[in-house]
Copies of this chain bind each other. A is one copy, B any other.
Amino acid sequence: MAMTGVLRPGHTQLRVLDLEESVNFYKNVMGLVETGRDKSGRVYFKCHDERDHNSLVLREADRAGMDHYAFKVLNRETLQRLDSDLRAYGIHTERIPAGEMLETGERIQFEAPTGHIFELYADKTEVGDGLGYLNPDVIIEDRKGISPLRLDHWQIHGGDLDGSRDLFVNVLGFSVVERIVAKDGKTDLAVWLSCSIKAHDIAFVRDERDNTLHHAAYLLESWDHVLRTADLMSKKRVSIDIGPLRHGITRGTTIYAFDPSGNRFETFCGGYNFYPDMKPYVWTEEEMGAAVFYHTRTLNERFLTVVT
């Protein structure tokens, strides 16, 4: 296999303040497909173009934020190997048995230096994209709401960015795609990492608030889809943080907004392909504005300060 190891962001468990309000939001505004509810009351969703059973799990709680971030790996052998590699690196791992989440196999769970709980897993029931595997159509006709293609990436914040970056690069096989470097010329303020050829699968930002979520990103298919998303957000009174605009980093186009619990999410489109033989782009602290919001070239206060 040329594409091996960690494949992609697979699922997350998101804390929401009011479950049914959030189910309504993710189903009718975000346009995800509800795929199940478990005995503990968690509600499962997938994007219409994802083939596995779920990529988002909502859990009602008294504060917002993300319980854990899970990557799908190539197969069970890879799961075992990465578990060993993590332990050898000095990371404590735990095994969550198959079935704890609906239609999901055994998960390896560990805490990264930035305080976030990550998971790896190899198995999740394939339910398909609704088009079938024989002579499929290219479009799903009746899509509701924003209707992103798939979960794309996360941006998360914590203090020991160096620790999490090194863990992802040296143990999990991610590549550094872009970096924002502090005025001292060496400290990473933020790093964008890819485990595939996407412009990023995860981004870490240096922030004293450990284990915090800046946003989970969902993929849109075109700049036109970005516009329709912004139109729909306004119509549905979704609180937009900023956008539509383009990122300097990844060159992707974007809108940032908030779910009813205050969790920021991104509807993202594009981004160049990055291969591990390429050098990362580097941004200076002075140009951080253009790095993130290429058009405005300045960051807004809310974008810098609100995390969950």
Interface residues of A (CB under 8 A from B): 1-8, 49, 51, 72, 74-75, 126, 133-139, 141, 149-150, 172-175, 194-198, 221-224, 227-228, 230-235, 240, 243-248, 251, 253, 255, 270, 272-273, 275-284, 287, 290-291, 294-297
Contact = CB atoms under 8 A, between A and B. Distances in A.
Given A7-B277, A245-B244, A251-B138, A234 B297 contact: yes
Please give the count of copies of this chain that the complex contains.
4
A221 B273 CA distance: 12
Nearest to A270: B221
A275 B139 contact: no
A246 B232 contact: no
B240 A296 contact: yes
A157 to B, nearest CB: 23
27 contacts: A1-B173, A1-B276, A2-B3, A2-B6, A2-B7, A3-B194, A7-B276, A51-B278, A126-B278, A126-B279, A133-B282, A135-B282, A135-B287, A137-B234, A137-B248, A139-B231, A141-B235, A197-B197, A222-B222, A222-B223, A222-B224, A230-B246, A231-B294, A231-B295, A234-B290, A243-B295, A244-B244
A294 B270 CA distance: 23
Contacts of A172: 2
A235 B294 CA distance: 9
A232 B173 CA distance: 36
Contacts of A228: 139
Closest 9 CB pairs of A and B: A2-B5, A224-B224, A2-B195, A2-B173, A135-B287, A230-B295, A1-B173, A138-B251, A2-B6
A230 to B, nearest CB: 4
A8 B49 CA distance: 25
A223 B230 CA distance: 13
A124 to B, nearest CB: 9
Contact of A5 (B1, B198, B240, B278): B1
A49 B275 CA distance: 13
B4 A235 contact: no
B222 A245 contact: no
A234 B248 CA distance: 10
A248 B136 contact: yes
A134 B8 CA distance: 28
Contact of A281 (B133, B235, B245, B287): B133
